[in-house]
Amino acid sequence: MKIPFNKPFLTGNEAEYIRQAVYSGKLSGNGVYTRKCQKFFEDRYGFRKALMTTSCTDALEMAAILCDIKPGDEVIAPSYTFVSSVLAFVRQGARIVFCDSCKDNPDIDPDKIEALITPKTKVIVPVHYAGVACDMDRIMDIAARHNLLVVEDAAQAIDSYYKGRALGSIGHLGCFSFHETKNIIAGEGGLLTINDPRFIRRSEIIWEKGTNRSEFFRGEVNKYGWVDTGSSFLPSELISAFLWAQIENLDMIQTRRKELWLRYHAGLQELADKGCLTLPVIPDYATNNAHIFYVVCRSLKERTALIRHLKDNDILSVFHYLSLHKSAFYTTHPDFRPDNCRDVETVAVTNFDGTVTDEVQIVGLDLPECDRYADCLLRLPMYYELTDQECDQVIDCIRDFFIG
């Protein structure tokens, strides 16, 4: 039997809640299920304000607007992340300053942030890779000393914590994803969390297409109108109804995912001890929400061979991000880069299939840890319905690759 990389889990109530939403006569956003989801997140995780969005990308775009990003502003973010982490700010005209990852995990390296700050810097975007917290005390301290805003990209980090505080509740703003690959899902869907009270009123206006309609519905104004920029960021009730069925089963889903994560870790520990691969590291200040189980191979060639070996045994595994600072968009659009990173050169690059092509790269932008994760990190199958037997099958196949 083939083992897929991901399989969306249905709790059983999704269709019923969608049916209820359909026949309630309220299909557009900000209905009963939208409000139920938002209240749950505020009550459970301590967010000052939570707003459902159609995607995490939309939540990030709202955050970029709330941060008042203007052309020429600089935003510091890791290079090893999904494009949405930075694209939201690029759309506002920002230049992205990429920071390297930590040696022991793909999160942004706090030791490297301060040297990247200039008078143009406005925002730091820590990305909690695999739901494992960045060192938020250090990041928030740097931001406070330089009067910067912090937007947590917590797309993978639902139900994960830093020193007892929920991720997404520490920075000025936080952004979550409920894409079908996440722990709890809505097909597509996202959440913006607002933790700084000065952004709360404007977040609702931006969310409601630049109008103060939310205030009107609460009876705070006798009419509503166009008062600011914005867009149609709020999702339909169908998305929130689907998500509510997932939320009701969050603890059950998390318990099972954590069991699978620990099974992988225990089963692959011998290979890690032999130096064949590196296992994920959970810092003392962080919890593990079991969003991803990954291993780090010793080389791109080895990872490519391992992917092929697993596929030959009907197991789908996938690598993750390519370093954004080497992307075609970034290297060919100097207006979006800091002044000190404009020089480029053409170099020979070995592709995953072994062929060699020319690629434009930025001279002097050396982010070795980001590049190492891009070349060597491999994600293993992780989903609620993965059985213990299938998990062991993956482990045994990896053991066979390394030690026979």
- The 3-class secondary structure across the chain, one letter per residue, is CCECCCCCCCCCCHHHHHHHHHHCCCCCCCCHHHHHHHHHHHHHHCCCEEEEECCHHHHHHHHHHHCCCCCCCEEEEECCCCCHHHHHHHCCCCEEEEECECCCCCCECHHHHHHHCCCCEEEECCECHHHCCCCHHHHHHHHHHCCCEEEEECCCCCCCEECCEECCCCCCEEEEECCCCCCCCCCCCEEEEECCHHHHHHHHHHHECCECHHHHHCCCCCCCCECCCCCECCCCHHHHHHHHHHHCCHHHHHHHHHHHHHHHHHHHHHHHHCCCCECCCCCCCECCCCCCCEEECCCHHHHHHHHHHHHHCCECCECCCCCHHHCHHHHHCHHHCCHHHCCEEEEEEECCCCCEEEEEEECCCCCHHHHHHHHHEEECCCCCCCCHHHHHHHHHHHHHHHHC
- 199-246 per-position pLDDT tens digit: 999 999 999 998 888 877 777 888 788 988 999 999 999 999 999 999
Six token digits for residue 54:
């159609």
* CA triple 273-373-64, angle to 5 deg: 135
Residue 216 domain flag = yes
Residue 339 domain flag = no
Give the per-residue pLDDT at 356.
56
Report the CATH number at residue 73. Answer: 3.40.640.10
| Interatomic CA distance for residues 58 and 341, integer angstroms | 28
Q: What percentage of residues in the chain have a pLDDT greater than 70? A: 92
Residue 274 domain flag = no
Residue 350 domain flag = no
Instruction: Please state the rounded mean pLDDT for residues 7-19.
Output: 97
| Interatomic CA distance for residues 152 and 166, integer angstroms | 11
Which domain covers residue 41, as residue numbers? 14-247
**Looking up tokens 């299920």, which residue turns up?**
33
CA distances from 24 to 15, 28, 237 (A): 14, 11, 10
pTM score, whole prediction: 0.92
| Interatomic CA distance for residues 289 and 256, integer angstroms | 11
- 333-354 per-position pLDDT tens digit: 766 655 545 444 555 555 545 5
Cβ-contact 59, 189 below 8 angstroms: no
Give the per-residue pLDDT at 342.
42
Residue 124 domain flag = yes
Instruction: Please state the rounded mean pLDDT for residues 118-131.
Output: 98
| Interatomic CA distance for residues 108 and 132, integer angstroms | 11
| pLDDT value at 143 more than 70 | yes
Give the per-residue pLDDT at 1.
77
- 242-270 per-position pLDDT tens digit: 999 999 999 999 999 999 999 999 999 99
Residue 341 domain flag = no
- 172-193 per-position pLDDT tens digit: 999 999 999 999 999 999 999 9
Element (H, E) at 190: strand 190-194
Count of structural domains, the chain: 1
- 308-333 per-position pLDDT tens digit: 999 999 999 999 999 999 998 888 87
Residue 29 domain flag = yes
- Pairing type for strands 190-194 and 173-177 reads antiparallel
Q: How many CB atoms lie within 10 A of CB 163?
A: 12
Residue 67 domain flag = yes
| Interatomic CA distance for residues 108 and 60, integer angstroms | 18
Six token digits for residue 210:
């630049």
